[in-house]
Structure 1
Amino acid sequence: MATAETHSSDHAQPSQLLHAAIVPTLTKMTVPMIFGMIFLMMFNLVDTFFISMLGTQPLAAISFTFPVTFTVISLAIGLGIGTSAVIAKALGAGEQAQARFDGTVALIVSAILVLSLSVAGYLFSEPLFKLLGAQAQLLPIIDQYMHIWFLASVLLVTPMIGNAILRANGDTKTPSLIMGGSGLINAILDPVLIFGWGPIPALGVQGAAIASAISWVVGVILVLHILIVRRKLLSNQCRSQSFYGATRKILKIGFPAAGANMLTPLAMAVMTAIVATFGAPAVAAFGVGSRIESIASLVVLALSMTLPPFISQNFGAGKIERVREAYQKTLKFVLIWQLLIYLLLLAVGHWIALAFASESQVRELISLFIYILPLSYGLQGVIILTNSSFNALHRPMNALVLSVIRLFVFYVPIAYVGSLIADLTGLFIGAAMGNLFTAVVAYLWFTHELKRHSQQ
């Protein structure tokens, strides 16, 4: 810990997470994450924009890759959650040597798992994408992109795990800079490699994959330099546990977290199928609504990455009351914040609908979405933060079960029943009610878990 304090003074140190005022500490950690995520989101849109300029077929081909790339990324996100929870708890308990060893194991294990998954994807690429419904004429374009993506995927997971190690140590500024920097490099290289420039030939979708791979290489170099040289947060020796023991701890949280992450697109696919019964304008409006949701929930998503290290460190130190206070204050803030976002959406909803749709029917349905569903985004924030807090308490199965309850007990079923009663209006109200019921379950369950730990 002394090394970390020596080499960086502009981020929250482990001791600060355990003793400093809760609200300023979480604010200091969360603000950089918000900016990092905004930049990353903008650069991803740029990536899609340049590929769309190649034509309909390349854009369609890339669309088929999303379920596959999301599966690999979900595994990496889950492993990052496990890594952060394990290291932060060790730091809270004062086990710095164990935390450094856990970080090394996490990098090695995540690289092996993602590489294994990607090699399988590379070898069975054609039958895999045929299974997803890709037409024969799109397969060569998909292969151009995915063969490079699969081989380079280990370069993607390393910065993700490295950033999780930094967040576990209370540093969210550095991961945000790495995220934003990698995204910027990708955005700059995209047009150069896709369309060609000077002596560089036009590589099409292959150029987009190469641009991503180069940005990941830069991310790997940066994060390893910071972890090994500047911060000295990695070690290959630890007397208190074995490589197997550390791996087991990380995967015990990582695998359920990855599974929970994969449930969301599955539920959205079911919801889209329900919406599709009301026609193409409804699907278009729902697609716009989903994009609005991702932007409107940006602060919640940032908090879901900064609250867990705080909880894990204090949990490791036995400071359960501090965990409770941080959890409750964060939820109160999120409910108020998302209410303000809802009021803002109501004020600008008409212009959002005009910007995203030319048909009057689609605009009306976008407005209907904005009037109803965003009202429950604060409750959705309660669910997301409770889920990440369960992982921080090393209760990953609770988080997985909560995801199942939210999506397949309340959200989708109630939305479906609502659609039968009152068409799309009923569907949106049903989805909002699903968020309400799940938020109540989530809050009661987590507070019960904290009470149990207090008694122990």
Structure 2
Amino acid sequence: MMSFGLIDTFFVSLLGTEPLAAISFTFPVTFTVISLNIGLGIGTSAIIGKLQGSRELSESKNYATGSLMLSTLLVGTLALIGYFTIEPIFTLLNASPTLLPYIRDYMSLWYASSIFLSLPMVGNSVLRACGDTRTPSIVMATVGGLNALLDPLFIFGAGPVPAMGIKGAALATLLAWMVGAVWILYLLAVKRNLILPRLLSLLELKAISGDILKIGLPAAGANMLTPIAGGVMTAVVASYGAEAVAAWGVGSRMESIASIVVLALSMTLPPFISQNVGANRFDRVHSAYMVSLKFVLFWQLFVFVVMWVCSGWIAVAFTSEPEVSRLIQLFLMIVPLGYGMQGIIILTNSSLNAMHHPLSALALSVIRLFVFFVPISIAGSYFFGLTGLYWGTVVANIAMATVSFVVFKNTLSVFKQEQHAT
């Protein structure tokens, strides 16, 4: 999933600084749409997993079908709104008039691809809830590989295929997700028989949607806050010029890849926690949470060292512009230091969702982004320039990780007290 943005960014960077800056501006917007899918996937997984565990297989099919329909409708609506507001939204993000044509070329097709993206993302949540984590990996890896093959073909052209520039990157994404959508529907409907062979009626969809959205909307909202804050930060970075925005975009894509192990844990830890909360085994909940946090801290420290050592090579791989290269390297030598603490934040939020406390997770996301991340980073930028902004993200992650840890411990303590009371 993360490879799409990174690969698009890499090939577009070969077109020059302006196209690279343009695709960097799109990240907060594209991640907003992706966040909606993530939230719907969390709600779907929680409900389908419970139904599968209680062997209510017929009801599980109804919810799986409804979740796919709901995600398509909601993402389609969001994409339609986005398509007709490309210029005002990106102008608000401080994109210059010279970058808007590039942004329009990319986003006009990307919005279409987001509708097809919703099917494999939510469909994979159904598979994981039914105990299959291998097939979703195969689907995502294959579709990501297809995108990587199509990117240079459409961006630079070959034979009868014309060079489309940044628009070619969006077309590659569209075709790749179309393949993913067809594939996941075949798996769910034909091979696994996990969804109904028909669409739900309006009344059926309405009844099912409420349960999915009860968990999915707070989770989606928590995820959507990240790109909103990212949009604010992009606007701040834009005051330093197109080179700074280009570097920020590359750094953000690298952050997604650097956090991939944390994100994997955030999808595998919640089912474990949910099962043990249901069994009143809070000792195992605490043990799993603590072991995961310790691992993440050591792992992300290793990732920081690797990125610090390789920062120069990574920067050169993405650009030949000396100033952009310098700023990418600066990003990679500072910001990844806070990734371990960011891992604690991510795992705490996913654990709270698993414990059926989605509003607590949402509240933590609001605090993280708008009490710590944005204000501290802007303050760092004001006093120490772009270097201060980078260090501000590290300080914000440390502060928020501390708050997240305390909230989880208090929540678990309440569960234990309720158990003793009963």
**TM-score band w.r.t. shorter chain:** 0.7 to 0.9
**2:10–2:318 CA contact under 8 A, matched in 1:** no
Quick one: distance in 2 between partners of 1:56 and 1:317? 55
1:225 to 186, 189, 192: 186
Quick one: distance in 2 between partners of 1:332 and 1:198? 52
User: Aligned pair in 2 of structure 1 residues 237, 315: CA closer, same or farther (>3 Å)?
Assistant: farther
User: Aligned pair in 2 of structure 1 residues 245, 135: CA closer, same or farther (>3 Å)?
Assistant: same
Quick one: distance in 2 between partners of 1:121 and 1:447? 40
**2:315–2:326 CA contact under 8 A, matched in 1:** yes
Q: Which string of whole-angstrom CA distances, capped at 9 and with x for unpartnered residues, describes residues 269-288 of structure 1?
A: 44455567778887676556
- 2:150 alignment counterpart: 189
Please identify, of 275-284 and 320-329, the stretch whose mean Cα deviation from structure 2 is larger: 275-284
Q: CA deviation at 1:383?
A: 0.4
User: Aligned pair in 2 of structure 1 residues 334, 145: CA closer, same or farther (>3 Å)?
Assistant: closer
Does 2:310 align with 1:324? no
**Match runs of 1:6-85 below 5 Å:** 40-41=2-3, 43-51=4-12, 62=23, 65-85=26-46
Quick one: distance in 1 between partners of 2:350 and 2:304? 23
Q: Which amino acid aligns with 2:63?
A: D
Q: Which string of whole-angstrom CA distances, capped at 9 and with x for unpartnered residues, describes residues 141-200 of structure 1?
A: 655554444344321110110011112223222111111111222222334444554455
**1:390–1:398 CA contact under 8 A, matched in 2:** yes
- 1:107 alignment counterpart: 68
SS at match of 1:401: helix
Please identify, of 157-166 and 310-319, the stretch whose mean Cα deviation from structure 2 is larger: 310-319
- 1:89 alignment counterpart: 50
Quick one: distance in 2 between partners of 1:308 and 1:101? 23
**1:92–1:315 CA contact under 8 A, matched in 2:** no
Does 2:260 align with 1:298? yes
Quick one: distance in 2 between partners of 1:138 and 1:354? 23
Does 2:111 align with 1:150? yes
Quick one: distance in 2 between partners of 1:66 and 1:425? 21
Q: Which amino acid aligns with 1:324?
A: H
Q: Which amino acid aligns with 1:223?
A: I
User: Aligned pair in 2 of structure 1 residues 417, 187: CA closer, same or farther (>3 Å)?
Assistant: closer
2:302 to 340, 346, 357: 340
Q: CA deviation at 1:418?
A: 5.0
Quick one: distance in 2 between partners of 1:378 and 1:139? 36
Q: CA deviation at 1:135?
A: 6.8
- State TM-score, norm by structure 1: 0.75
Q: CA deviation at 1:75?
A: 1.5
Q: Which string of whole-angstrom CA distances, capped at 9 and with x for unpartnered residues, describes residues 234-276 of structure 1?
A: 24799xx964343112112222222222222333344455567
Quick one: distance in 1 between partners of 2:204 and 2:281? 27
Q: CA deviation at 1:131?
A: 5.7
User: Aligned pair in 2 of structure 1 residues 144, 436: CA closer, same or farther (>3 Å)?
Assistant: closer
Q: CA deviation at 1:78?
A: 1.7
Does 2:365 align with 1:406? no
User: Aligned pair in 2 of structure 1 residues 264, 230: CA closer, same or farther (>3 Å)?
Assistant: same
SS at match of 2:193: coil
Identity across matched positions, percent: 55
User: Aligned pair in 2 of structure 1 residues 113, 420: CA closer, same or farther (>3 Å)?
Assistant: closer
1:172 to 127, 130, 133: 133
Q: CA RMSD in A?
A: 3.9
Q: CA deviation at 1:89?
A: 3.4
- 1:441 alignment counterpart: 403
Q: Which runs of 5+ in 2 are unaligned?
A: none
**1:267–1:407 CA contact under 8 A, matched in 2:** yes
Please identify, of 330-339 and 140-149, the stretch whose mean Cα deviation from structure 2 is larger: 140-149
- 2:177 alignment counterpart: 216
Q: Which amino acid aligns with 1:262?
A: M
**1:372–1:429 CA contact under 8 A, matched in 2:** yes
**1:106–1:247 CA contact under 8 A, matched in 2:** yes
User: Aligned pair in 2 of structure 1 residues 440, 220: CA closer, same or farther (>3 Å)?
Assistant: same
Quick one: distance in 1 between partners of 2:325 and 2:13? 24
Q: CA deviation at 1:384?
A: 0.7
- 1:259 alignment counterpart: 221
Q: CA deviation at 1:359?
A: 8.8
Q: CA deviation at 1:118?
A: 2.4
**1:51–1:205 CA contact under 8 A, matched in 2:** yes
- State TM-score, norm by structure 2: 0.81
**1:169–1:309 CA contact under 8 A, matched in 2:** no
- 1:378 alignment counterpart: 340
User: Aligned pair in 2 of structure 1 residues 372, 216: CA closer, same or farther (>3 Å)?
Assistant: closer
User: Aligned pair in 2 of structure 1 residues 220, 360: CA closer, same or farther (>3 Å)?
Assistant: closer
**1:170–1:310 CA contact under 8 A, matched in 2:** no
Quick one: distance in 1 between partners of 2:92 and 2:383? 35
Q: Which runs of 5+ in 1 are unaligned?
A: 1-36
Q: CA deviation at 1:404?
A: 1.3
**1:101–1:237 CA contact under 8 A, matched in 2:** no
**1:256–1:397 CA contact under 8 A, matched in 2:** yes
Q: CA deviation at 1:389?
A: 1.5
Q: Which amino acid aligns with 2:294?
A: K
Quick one: distance in 2 between partners of 1:436 and 1:64? 27
